[in-house]
């Protein structure tokens, strides 16, 4: 951040001079329950401290670890992760439980006589700060990292405390508006689930005693394949090729990777007809699903089928599986990596109400999706406005 003109009384300094602590966490063996909660890398994966993603230190007395309890305003930062997640931060605030700061996340504690923690948290989320990270990042095969000493030398803009308070106030108000919009979108998902239960009942308990059918009876199921990575002629073509990590939404319109017609001809990857249902089979991606809105292909971790439209509505089947996902996933096999296979996918049973009611449910989903699309479009605009507001705030254009 060289040659930046700052307003009067604003200054730029290093993180080292603006903080009282930047350190790694306590090295304690972690379990899934029992003892004090302790942070893990995934604790801040969604940019907030997620109480559902703690480990647990098997200790009942803090002893020497008391110094590692998080304090109000502490900021956790990811410094060992995949490159795109480096520098991700979350702030410890308004939390009523004692949490031990564990290994592989840095704790940054700012000197509040110089800089307020919430102001620093917002600044650490800006492009102006994050653009400094690549020059201290060291890359390896599966992850990237930076050292505490290198982090300490990065720069932060520090306005007077009164200006910091004003910046915090305006950004918090904008952030709350974003949260309300996201909550509204989430409520639409709950509405869909409620409508499904109202029309068909729980897909596992089947209180309406509807007929059931195995997925193998309503469509022909196949798995994809991965063309050889050693043959460059198989990749960077014009055919979308999906991995299970991309099965995140009901509809799929594109893929990260593309393969060639030669790959389709010479490998186990095949063309999947538009409007098919795709289901992940392996580990945490099991039963993640999507309906492809383009002709595409996929890898071997995905099962797919163009369902028989005379028997089922694909949108209905998608939701039947998603709502019953936890039960279906209990059928996974494996000790460490629990997987489904093609036979197990074919054997999954779904409720079979008459096609007319399935179509009525799908029509309802289409109406909700139109509303959701508009709300998500509005959310994107709000996010862009928030980012613009942050840029202006840290340039001194809002207050000086």
Do residues 218 and 101 both lie within one domain? no
Do residues 29 and 151 both lie within one domain? yes
pLDDT number for residue 335 = 44
- Supply the Cα-derived Rg of the chain in whole angstroms: 25
Do residues 150 and 71 both lie within one domain? yes
Distances (CA, A) of 159 to 10, 261, 333, 394, 397: 4, 57, 56, 9, 12
Distances (CA, A) of 247 to 1, 83, 158, 255: 39, 22, 42, 10
Longest dimension (CA), the chain: 74
Tell me if 37 is assigned to some domain: yes
Tell me if 361 is assigned to some domain: yes
pLDDT in tens, 301-336: 999 999 999 999 999 999 999 999 888 877 655 544
Between CA 186 and CA 291, with CA 46 as vertex, the angle to 5 degrees is 50
Tell me if 172 is assigned to some domain: yes
pLDDT in tens, 230-256: 999 999 999 999 999 999 999 999 999
Tell me if 152 is assigned to some domain: yes
Do residues 56 and 84 both lie within one domain? yes
* Number of domains forming the structure of the chain: 3
Tell me if 5 is assigned to some domain: no
Do residues 347 and 359 both lie within one domain? no
Do residues 181 and 277 both lie within one domain? no
CA distance 295 to 396: 49
Do residues 334 and 363 both lie within one domain? no
Across the chain, what does the average pLDDT equal? 93
Tell me if 205 is assigned to some domain: no
Percentage of residues in the chain with pLDDT exceeding 90? 84
Count, residues in the chain: 400
pLDDT in tens, 32-65: 677 889 999 999 999 999 988 999 988 878 888 9
pLDDT number for residue 96 = 85
Do residues 232 and 343 both lie within one domain? yes
Do residues 29 and 63 both lie within one domain? yes
Do residues 150 and 166 both lie within one domain? no
Tell me if 206 is assigned to some domain: no
Do residues 347 and 231 both lie within one domain? yes
Do residues 298 and 339 both lie within one domain? yes
Q: What is the 3-state secondary structure (H, E, C) of the chain?
A: CCCCCCCCCCEEEEHHHHEEEEECCECCCEECCCCEEECCHHHHCCCCCCHHHCEEECCCCCHHHHHHECCCCCEEEECEECHHHCCCEEECCCCCCCCECECCEEEEEECCCCCCHHHHHHHHCCHHHHCCHHHHCEECCCCEECCHHHHHCCEEEECCHHHHHHHHHHHHHHHHHHHHHHHHHHHHHHHHHHHHHHHHCCCCCCCCCCCEEEHHHCCCCEECCCCCCCCHHHEEEEEEEECHHHCCCCEECCCCEEECHHHHHHCCCCCECCCCEEEECEHHHCCCEEEECCCEEECCCEEEECCCCCCCCHHHHHHHHHHCHHHHHCCCECCCCCECCHHHHHHCEEECCCHHHHHHHHHHHHHHHHHHHHHHHHHHHHHHHHHHHHHHHHHCCCCC
Tell me if 175 is assigned to some domain: yes
Range of the domain at 168: 162-200+355-394
Question: How far out from the chain centre does Cα 205 lie?
Answer: 30
CATH of the domain at 307: 3.90.220.20
pLDDT < 70 stretches in the chain: 1-3, 32, 331-338
């Amino acid at each position: 951040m060289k040659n930046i003109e700052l307003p009067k009384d604003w200054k730029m300094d290093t993180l080292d001079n603006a903080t009282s602590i930047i350190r790694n966490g306590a090295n304690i063996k972690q379990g899934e329950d029992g003892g004090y909660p302790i942070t893990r890398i995934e604790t801040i994966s969604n940019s907030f401290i997620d109480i559902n993603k703690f480990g647990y230190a098997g200790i009942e007395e803090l002893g020497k670890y008391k110094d590692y309890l998080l304090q109000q305003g502490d900021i956790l930062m990811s410094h060992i992760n995949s490159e795109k997640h480096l520098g991700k931060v979350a702030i410890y605030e308004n939390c009523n439980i004692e949490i031990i700061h564990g290994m592989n996340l840095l704790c940054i504690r700012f000197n509040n006589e110089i800089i307020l923690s919430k102001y620093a948290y917002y600044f650490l989320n800006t492009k102006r700060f994050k653009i400094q990270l690549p020059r201290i990042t060291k890359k390896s095969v599966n992850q990237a990292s930076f050292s505490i000493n290198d982090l300490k030398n990065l720069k932060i803009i520090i306005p007077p405390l009164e200006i910091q308070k004003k910046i915090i106030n305006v950004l918090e108000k904008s952030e709350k508006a974003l949260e309300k919009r996201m909550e509204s979108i989430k409520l639409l998902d709950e509405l869909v689930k409620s409508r499904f239960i109202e029309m068909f009942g729980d897909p596992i308990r089947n209180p309406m005693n509807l007929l059931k059918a195995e997925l193998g009876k309503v469509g022909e199921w196949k798995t994809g394949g991965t063309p050889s990575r050693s043959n460059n002629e198989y990749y960077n073509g014009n055919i979308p090729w999906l991995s299970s990590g991309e099965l995140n939404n009901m509809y799929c319109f594109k893929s990260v990777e593309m393969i060639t017609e030669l790959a389709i001809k010479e490998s186990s990857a095949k063309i999947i007809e538009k409007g098919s249902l795709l289901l992940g089979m392996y580990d945490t991606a099991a039963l993640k699903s999507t309906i492809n809105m383009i002709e595409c292909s996929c890898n071997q971790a995905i099962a797919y089928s163009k369902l028989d439209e005379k028997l089922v509505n694909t949108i209905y089947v998608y939701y039947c599986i998603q709502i019953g996902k936890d039960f279906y996933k209990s059928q996974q096999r494996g000790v460490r990596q629990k997987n489904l296979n093609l036979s197990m996918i074919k054997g999954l049973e779904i409720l079979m109400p008459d096609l007319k009611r399935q179509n009525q449910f799908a029509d309802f989903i289409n109406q909700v999706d139109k509303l959701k699309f508009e709300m998500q479009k509005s959310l994107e605009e709000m996010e862009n406005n928030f980012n613009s507001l942050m840029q202006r705030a840290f340039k001194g254009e809002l207050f000086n």
